[in-house]
Amino acid sequence: MNGLALLIVLVVSLGVTALADRFRISSPLLLVVVGLGLSFVPGVPNVPLDPDLVLFLVLPPLLYSAALESSALRIRENLNRIGQLAFGLVIFTTAVVGLVAWWVVPGLPLASALVLGAVVAPPDAVAAASIGRRLGLNRRMMTVLEGESLLNDATALTLFRVLLAVALGAGASIGEGLLEFLIAAVGGIAIGAVAGWVIHRVRLRLGDSSLESAVGLVVPFAIYLLAEDLHASGVLAVVIAGLYLGHKSTEGGFATRIQDQAVWKALDRLLEALVFALIGLQLAVVVADLRISFGTVVASSLAVLAAVILARFAWMFPTIYLPRLLPKVRARGPAMPWRVPTVLSWAGMRGVVTLAAAFAIDPAMPGRDVVLFLAFVVTVGTLLLQGLTLPWVIRRLDVSDTGAQKDTLQEAAAKQAAAETALARLEELTSGDGDRTPDHITDQLRSWAQHRSNGAWERLGRPAEEIGESPSVAFVRLRRAMLEAERHTFVRFRDMGRLEESAMRELLRELDYEQAMLETDRPASG
């Protein structure tokens, strides 16, 4: 893909993303649909997916950003369930899809069919997570989906490399493949942990938030390359480092955290828009290389797509309910409602990693054209079929988050404890004989601490329409209006030549920090 084509795809993708946000539509799904539509337009050039672009420039930063925002503690709590999906389900799906493809596609070697299975095995949780967050999906289910998506790519890509070597006749036994997988996994975890520890300590000593953020941008690419050069899993190394650095981010400066959040959020939107648009644009490319009959294409596509979807159900329910036949497991608590594994099973949409792996297949592999086409069908089919219906399934089965009240209670208690600690520290600093802090300053500081404490407690009361505007909501509304008035004054002074541009920007930055704090602490008004 040349630079101009990439720029055009980026601009169009961001425009479609903005449109999706405006009308509250899942942007990944709309991007795929628009890409498919454009692939049929005469004159639109083919935009083949570059596997190196995805596996190095797109996948590491997306996984790293997701890991930074994930809860290492929550993932550890659900590690058993996540591991069953990220490792066990990937292997199971590879076998099931491989056998089905071998059976329904005439002349397709079993080794090539298993390569297809590895290619389509890992779900991409970007679309599912965006839908789940919008609809308030149960937090444990979100943790499982996000944790699975962080780890399953490592399993699938390692399986892919081993099976591709077999399909190409490079020679690899099951034992050698298992050994390679274990080395890649253990090596990736070790490299990610060590790199995360080193990078965290380096960033703490830089003393410059902009430089810290710049180093953070390089981290996923450097770790990925280092791990891959050492024949370890680059994906797993990036994820482990991201989880560690995200957990330790509280030890850094506030400016670094603000900058990192803004930088990674913008980069995520850019990369996600690009990759989902590229998925839709691949139709013309994969069809052009196809060399089997139309009837075989339709039958094999339906069979493989059904195998991918049903394999997730066939794995999910037994692994959840069969262990409960053991008395020790039953004693741990009640059974999980059937609605939970149903939604988790239906949330298995495939994404750009599937297509990137398919395009990375050596042209010498027998049946590459069929494997590439079926991978495309699975990706688009699951995104549209499951992605478009997942909101309905979530609403119909009523698996929305029931812990919002508990979260607010915990937040309120924590804020009250923090405010009490802060007020005690204030008294300690201002009660000395030598302290000359004016009384109105200490009064203002006490008022601000009380405002922060009260905001969360007000969310536990009656709805705002019953009690009117709460004090904290009024505080935020009025202070926001005051900040806007101050901004207009600074800009007016700049335009009149009474304030330098650099000085104005510094003053506006101070107001922006204050408003960011106001918006973060703003209690819900209804």
Instruction: Please say if the pLDDT value at position 218 is more than 70.
Output: yes
In single-letter form, the type of residue at position 438 comes to P
Measured distance CA(410)–CA(388) in Å, rounded: 35
Percentage with pLDDT > 70 across the chain: 87
Residue 300: what pLDDT?
94
Instruction: Please say if the pLDDT value at position 415 is more than 60.
Output: yes
Instruction: Please say if the pLDDT value at position 466 is more than 50.
Output: no
C-beta separation of 364 from 165 below 8 A:
no
Phi-psi region of 42 (alpha: psi -120 to 50; beta: other; left: phi over 0): beta
Which tens digit of pLDDT belongs to each residue from 122-164?
998 666 677 777 766 777 888 888 888 888 888 898 889 888 8
- Domain 3-402 in CATH 3.50.70.10: no
For residue 55, give every residue at least 6 positions away whose Cβ sits within 8 Å of its Cβ, in sequence order, or none: 157, 353, 356, 357, 360
Instruction: Please say if the pLDDT value at position 229 is more than 60.
Output: yes
Residue 2: what pLDDT?
66
Instruction: Please say if the pLDDT value at position 258 is more than 90.
Output: no
Q: Mean pLDDT across the chain, nearest whole number?
A: 84
Instruction: Please say if the pLDDT value at position 359 is more than 80.
Output: yes
Which tens digit of pLDDT belongs to each residue from 292-325?
888 888 999 999 999 999 999 999 999 999 988 8
Greater confidence (470 vs 358) lies with 358
C-beta separation of 17 from 31 below 8 A:
yes
Residue 372: what pLDDT?
92
pLDDT-derived band at 394 (thresholds 50, 70, 90) equals confident
Most confident of the ranges 90-99, 265-274, 457-466: 90-99
Residue 259: what pLDDT?
86
C-beta separation of 263 from 217 below 8 A:
yes
Where along the chain do the CATH 1.20.1530.20 domains lie? 3-402
Instruction: Please say if the pLDDT value at position 463 is more than 50.
Output: no
Strand partners, 400: 137
Instruction: Please say if the pLDDT value at position 29 is more than 90.
Output: no
Distance of CA 518 to the CA centre of its chain: 26
* 193-to-59, 320, 369, 460, 500 alpha-carbon distances in Å: 19, 30, 39, 40, 47
Greater confidence (284 vs 156) lies with 156
Which string of b and e fits 217-237 if b means at least 16 CB within 10 Å?
eebbbebbebbbebebbbbbb
Read out DSSP for 184-220?
Answer: HHHHHHHHHHHHHHHHHHHHHHH--HHHHHHHHHHHH
C-beta separation of 193 from 244 below 8 A:
yes
Which ranges constitute the DSSP H helices of 1-138? 3-22, 27-39, 51-52, 59-69, 72-77, 79-83, 90-104, 110-120, 125-135
CA-atom Rg of the chain in angstroms: 26
Phi/psi of residue 364, nearest 5 degrees:
-75, -10
Residue 70: what pLDDT?
84
Mean pLDDT score, 197-216: 91
Residue 462: what pLDDT?
46
Residue 482: what pLDDT?
84
Instruction: Please say if the pLDDT value at position 347 is more than 80.
Output: yes
pLDDT-derived band at 44 (thresholds 50, 70, 90) equals confident
Instruction: Please say if the pLDDT value at position 346 is more than 70.
Output: yes
Greater confidence (102 vs 433) lies with 102
Strand partners, 137: 400
Interaxial angle between packed helices 254-281 and 368-397, expressed in degrees from 0 to 180 and rounded to the nearest 10: 120
pLDDT-derived band at 526 (thresholds 50, 70, 90) equals very low
Residue 125: what pLDDT?
65
Which tens digit of pLDDT belongs to each residue from 49-103?
788 888 888 889 988 998 988 888 888 888 988 999 999 999 999 999 999 999 9
